[in-house]
């Protein structure tokens, strides 16, 4: 069995983010390839020019320019007025979609009392924190047996608290709802919005939704939430496996089934990643026994968008 960095043992109160993880979030940022200029200022470069935060070029002063944009040091050297022009920073609207179907209740012995839905809560809270720090808008949707539950996009600490309350209310159960019940998503998630999907990726309808969102010019990222037991298959002797959504059970001799399972499971993940990449969707795996910032770091690393 491969060794893993030991995840933080405790959560940080009601916000789901351990203190050590929160400290490591400082150098992460949500970013979208399709971020465009719009309303307000955020931390995402657009092609428009204005009084943003990052220097782009000098130009000659024109009547109506704000005096604070004048470079007075350059004036002292040249006796001419020049204005520092910057690339305007555009706000991002980010959405976190959490799968709450029955399979998200799956945990394993590698981390007792911790399951896929717990990890989804923590990852979602991290995404809200990043968006809050960046001055972006963000919203939240839970999708599962109870249908669709939405927290409309907003900004600021109160919006973060509304989303955290939504995370506290999450319960896993049932299967993926039919397409008709997800129609409100299309009314809220607009073109160019960033969508982070937190799911085990086992429902074909979930994969189909991501593909449709990406085809409709939404920026989609996916973290597949998987257990350490699915990665390592450490079982011994006879073992009963049960599908939490269908109830179907299978009894097998674990040691003799290990090689075939790992080969099939690895191949299935590889094929799913290739399918999502073909649709322009960034994807990675979040394992239950690793610190929650690690999959975010892989997914949001520079160049991850180009690799998708």
What domains are there in the chain, each with its CATH number?
23-34+92-307 (3.40.50.410), 44-90 (no CATH)
Share of residues in the chain with pLDDT > 90 (%): 59
The per-residue pLDDT for 132 is 94
pLDDT recorded at residue 272: 96
| Alpha-carbon distances of 110 from 244, 252, 255, rounded to whole Å | 19, 21, 18
pLDDT at res. 190 = 93
Residue count (the chain): 308
| Residue 136 scores a pLDDT above 60 | yes
pLDDT for 302 beyond 90: no
> What's the pLDDT band for 109 if we cut at 50, 70, 90?
confident
Mean pLDDT of 244-259: 75
DSSP 165: H
User: Which H or E element spans position 6?
Assistant: none
The CA distance from 86 to 75, in Å, is 18
What pLDDT, on the 0 to 100 scale, is given for residue 8?
Answer: 54
Mean pLDDT, residues 223-240: 88
- The helix (H) or strand (E) run that includes residue 49 is strand 44-50
Return the CA Rg of the chain: 23
What average pLDDT does this structure show over 128-135? Answer: 94
Residue 62's pLDDT is 66
How many Cβ atoms from other residues are within 10 Å of residue 113's Cβ? 6
Mean pLDDT value across residues 116-130: 97
Percent over 70 (pLDDT), the chain: 78
**pLDDT tens, residue by residue, 51-100:** 444 555 677 776 656 677 788 888 788 888 877 765 445 578 999 999 99
Arithmetic mean of pLDDT, 254-272: 91
Q: Would you state the pLDDT for residue 88?
A: 42
- Identify the pLDDT of residue 206: 96
Residues 16 and 164: beta-carbon distance below 8 Å: yes
pLDDT digits (tens, 9 = 90+) for 177-206: 999 999 999 999 999 999 999 999 999 999
User: 200, 149, 144: which is closest to 173 by C-alpha?
Assistant: 144
| Per-residue confidence (pLDDT) for residue 72, from 0 to 100 | 82
- 133 CB-contact burial (10 Å; exposed 0-12 / middle 13-18 / buried 19+): middle
């Amino acid at each position: 069995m491969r060794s893993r960095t030991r995840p933080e043992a405790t959560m940080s109160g009601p916000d789901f983010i351990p203190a050590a993880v929160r400290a490591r979030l400082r150098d992460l940022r949500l970013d979208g390839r399709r971020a465009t200029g719009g309303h307000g200022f955020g931390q995402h470069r657009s092609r428009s020019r204005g009084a943003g935060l990052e220097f782009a070029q000098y130009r000659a002063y024109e009547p109506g320019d704000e005096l604070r944009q004048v470079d007075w040091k350059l004036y002292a050297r040249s006796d001419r007025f020049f204005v520092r022009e910057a690339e305007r920073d555009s706000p991002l609207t980010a959405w976190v979609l959490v799968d709450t179907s029955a399979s998200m209740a799956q945990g394993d012995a590698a981390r007792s009392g911790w399951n896929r839905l717990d990890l989804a809560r923590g990852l979602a809270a991290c995404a809200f924190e990043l968006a809050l720090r960046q001055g972006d808008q963000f919203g939240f949707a839970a999708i599962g047996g109870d249908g669709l539950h939405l927290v409309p996009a907003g900004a600021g600490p109160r919006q973060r608290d509304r989303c955290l309350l939504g995370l506290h209310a999450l319960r896993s159960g049932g299967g993926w709802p039919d397409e008709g019940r997800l129609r409100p998503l299309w009314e809220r998630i607009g073109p160019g919005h960033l969508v982070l999907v937190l799911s085990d990726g086992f429902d074909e309808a979930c994969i189909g939704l991501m593909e449709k969102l990406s085809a409709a010019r939404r920026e989609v990222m996916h973290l597949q939430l998987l257990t350490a037991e699915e990665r390592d298959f450490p079982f011994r002797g006879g073992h009963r496996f049960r599908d939490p959504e269908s109830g179907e059970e299978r009894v097998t001799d674990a040691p003799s089934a290990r090689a075939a399972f790992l080969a099939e499971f690895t191949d299935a993940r590889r094929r799913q990643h290739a399918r999502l990449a073909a649709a322009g969707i960034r994807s990675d795996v979040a394992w239950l026994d690793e610190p929650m910032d690690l999959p975010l770091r892989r997914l949001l690393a520079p160049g991850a968008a180009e690799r998708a």
